């Protein structure tokens, strides 16, 4: 049994195996309707709990559909409706759920909830996003990059804007998949030193560059995300917008990157804020391929967790 908590906690060979498996499973579904079953049914007889303490479109739907395609069943639970949100401990919740389900995916606020859930559950636990990281997203992103451009190792990935949870998992991925990272954004919103240090310790080049145009020079991939994440206070909105405006990904900024540089965004996007529609819908954008690949990547993650 394997938990999937963060990319730096998972062996690089296992991560590579998951991506290759996801690709093969995606290829095997070509021409099928979305609800059609896979030929293989590795989750037959398995029940998966999907717990959400924050909103979600992609994570919720892609996990649910993925489990069903593999023959399993799902239960989508909102944190608020559970006793978890009303005083029951995480440890007790984990022990109880382990008596009913075979796998737990949780999206929560503080990462300590995820860690405690994994500590006390007898079944695998998957990180569906916390305030600090979002590993499933970056598995889909690496898969998407490689589908379009081949191996990501050695490439230059530029993160524009807020050094948030998605950025953190990109830094973990830089360590594990061997690419270079540049962060461009305001000093107040830099990624945590722990994440930068981890990538550097693995021998990766990580550059912090205040000037967005300089940062994207020679970029193979440009990535951004919302300026106000779900865990950020709404009162910080105006301050964040003011700080982040120079880091908007627009056609002018893209023109300083390599001509074939890809553009990614985990979505949901706030068009006209962190990225313009011209870029989101432009020929270098792969944002909807990323969204689709959440499905395939997570199916492979679940199979790895369960060893099936």
* Residues making up the binding site: 56-59, 83, 107, 134-137, 165, 225, 229-230, 266-267, 294
SS (H, E, C) the chain: CCCECCHHHCCHHHHHHHHHHHHHHHHHCCCCCCCCCCCCCCCCCCEEEEEECCCCCHHHHHHHHHHHHCCCEEEEEEHHHCHHHHCCCHHHHHHHHHHHCCEEEEECCCHHHHHHHHHHCCCCEEECCCCCCCHHHHHHHHHHHHHHHCCCCCCEEEEECCCCHHHHHHHHHHHHHCCEEEEECCHHHCCCHHHHHHHHHCCCCEEECCCHHHHHCCCCEEEECCCCCCCCCHHHHHHHHHHHHHHCECHHHHCCCCCCCEEEECCCCCECCCECHHHHCCCCECHHHHHHHHHHHHHHHHHHHHCC
> Does the protein bind ligand CP through residue 137 (CB under 6 A)?
yes
**Site map 137..156 versus ligand NVA, x via CB under 6 A:** --------------------
Q: Pick between residue 166 and residue 249 the one whose CB is nearest to ligand NVA.
A: 166
Binds ligand CP (CB under 6 A): choice among 65, 115, 189, 267: 267
Return the one option of ligand CP, ligand NVA, none that residue 284 interacts with (CB less than 5 to 8 A, by type): none
> Does the protein bind ligand NVA through residue 222 (CB under 6 A)?
no
Binds ligand NVA (CB under 6 A): choice among 69, 93, 127, 164: 164
Q: Pick between residue 127 and residue 164 the one whose CB is nearest to ligand NVA.
A: 164
**Site map 103..132 versus ligand CP, x via CB under 6 A:** --------------------------x---
| Phi-psi category of residue 150: left, alpha or beta, with phi > 0 → left and psi -120 to 50 → alpha | left
Q: Pick between residue 101 and residue 142 the one whose CB is nearest to ligand NVA.
A: 142
Return the one option of ligand CP, ligand NVA, none that residue 184 interacts with (CB less than 5 to 8 A, by type): none
State how beta strands 262-265 and 125-127 pair. Answer: unpaired
Return the one option of ligand NVA, ligand CP, none that residue 225 interacts with (CB less than 5 to 8 A, by type): ligand NVA
68 is a catalytic site residue: no
CA dist., res. 172 & res. 178, Å (int): 10
CA dist., res. 165 & res. 69, Å (int): 29
Q: Catalytic pick from 160, 266, 296, 305?
A: 266
Q: Pick between residue 72 and residue 135 the one whose CB is nearest to ligand NVA.
A: 135
Assess contact for 47 and 73: CB atoms under 8 A. Answer: yes
Q: Which stretch binds ligand NVA (CB under 6 A): 160-168, 191-199, 209-217, 233-241?
A: 160-168
256 is a catalytic site residue: no
266 is a catalytic site residue: yes
> Does the protein bind ligand NVA through residue 229 (CB under 6 A)?
yes
Residue for token pair 């985990």? 266
Q: Pick between residue 166 and residue 181 the one whose CB is nearest to ligand NVA.
A: 166
Enumerate residues 23-82 that contact ligand CP by CB under 6 A: 56-59
Return the one option of ligand NVA, ligand CP, none that residue 118 interacts with (CB less than 5 to 8 A, by type): none
Catalytic residues: 107, 134, 137, 225, 266, 294
The site for ligand CP (CB under 6 A) is made up of 56-59, 129, 137, 266-268
The site for ligand NVA (CB under 6 A) is made up of 129, 164-166, 225-226, 229-230, 266
């Amino acid at each position: 049994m394997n938990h999937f908590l963060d990319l730096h906690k998972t062996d690089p060979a296992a991560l590579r195996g998951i991506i290759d498996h996801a690709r093969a499973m995606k290829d095997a579904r070509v021409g099928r309707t979305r609800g059609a079953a896979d030929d293989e049914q590795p989750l037959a007889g398995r029940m998966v709990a999907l717990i959400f303490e924050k909103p979600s479109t992609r994570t919720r739907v892609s996990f649910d559909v993925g489990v069903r395609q593999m023959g399993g069943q799902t239960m989508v639970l909102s944190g608020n409706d559970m006793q978890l949100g009303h005083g029951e401990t995480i440890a007790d919740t984990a022990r109880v759920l382990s008596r009913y389900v075979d796998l737990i995916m949780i999206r929560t606020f503080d990462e300590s909830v995820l860690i405690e859930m994994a500590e006390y559950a007898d079944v695998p636990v998957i990180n569906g996003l916390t305030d600090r990281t979002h590993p499933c997203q970056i598995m889909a992103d690496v898969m998407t990059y490689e589908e379009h451009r081949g191996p990501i190792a050695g490439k230059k990935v530029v993160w524009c804007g807020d050094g948030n949870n998605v950025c953190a998992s990109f830094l973990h991925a830089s360590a594990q998949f061997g690419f270079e990272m540049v962060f461009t954004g305001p000093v107040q919103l830099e990624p945590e030193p722990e994440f930068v240090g981890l990538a550097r310790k693995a021998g990766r080049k990580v550059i912090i560059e205040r000037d967005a145009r300089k940062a994207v020079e020679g970029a193979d991939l440009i990535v951004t995300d919302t300026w106000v994440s779900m865990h950020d206070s709404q009162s910080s909105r105006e301050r964040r917008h003011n700080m982040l405006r120079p880091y908007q990904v627009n056609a002018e900024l893209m023109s300083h990157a390599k001509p074939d540089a890809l553009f990614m965004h985990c979505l949901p996007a706030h068009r006209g804020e962190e990225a313009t529609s011209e870029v989101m819908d432009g020929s270098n954008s792969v944002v909807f391929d990323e969204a689709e690949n959440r499905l395939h990547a997570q199916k492979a993650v679940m199979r790895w967790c369960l060893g099936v």
